[in-house]
Homo-oligomer: A and B are copies of this chain.
Amino acid sequence: MKKKPKVLILMGSDSDLPVMNEAAAVLAEFGVASHMTVASAHRTPARAADLATGAEKRGIEVIIAGAGMAAHLAGVVAAHTILPVIGVPLDASPVKGLDALLSTVQMPPGIPVATVAIGKAGARNAGILALQILARSDRSVAAALKAFRKRMAREVEKKARRVESAATPL
């Protein structure tokens, strides 16, 4: 995986790493290189802006940004680039990610953030959504995604068999 990264994965704090790793992991499964780092919309606004502004020139195609609480990171990043920005709301406060979800998805007209589910499920889906965007101009990713869909279906069917084995046959 020494290829140039096509996806930039940002997180508001290094404590978000275990969750955001899900995005990096799924990209790695598909052989797509990603660059992962920390940038806080509030503690390092210039850093967040610079990473976003410079991403396109560095060959980044999609940015994934995960943050909790008043999760401004994805929106702030989206304000500095025309690359598609995928926002992952994290469950990092007593209100269980509802704050991060609304802060990420309710972007005003003009600057969209492609928001996915709260937490780990969302982080993994952010990686897959990035692959679906990359697949628009990379046939090998498209083919891999189609194979992945079939694999997922087969896994569900395998689990179905296991659950059925204990059940009355249809």
Q: Which residues of A contact B (CB under 8 A)?
A: 1-5, 8, 11-14, 17, 24, 33-45, 47, 49, 58, 60-62, 68-70, 72, 75-76, 78-80, 82-84, 86, 91, 93-121, 124-126, 128-129, 132-137, 142, 145-146, 149, 152-153, 155-157, 159-160, 162-164, 166-170
**Chain B residue nearest to A32 in the complex (CB):** B168
* Distance from A92 Cβ to chain B, minimum over Cβ atoms (Å): 8
Q: Which residues of B contact A160 (CB under 8 A)?
A: 14, 37-39, 47
CB distance B45 to A168 under 8 Å?
A: no
**Please, how many angstroms separate the alpha-carbon atoms of A114 and B117 in the complex?**
9
Q: Which residues of B contact A36 (CB under 8 A)?
A: 163-164, 166-167
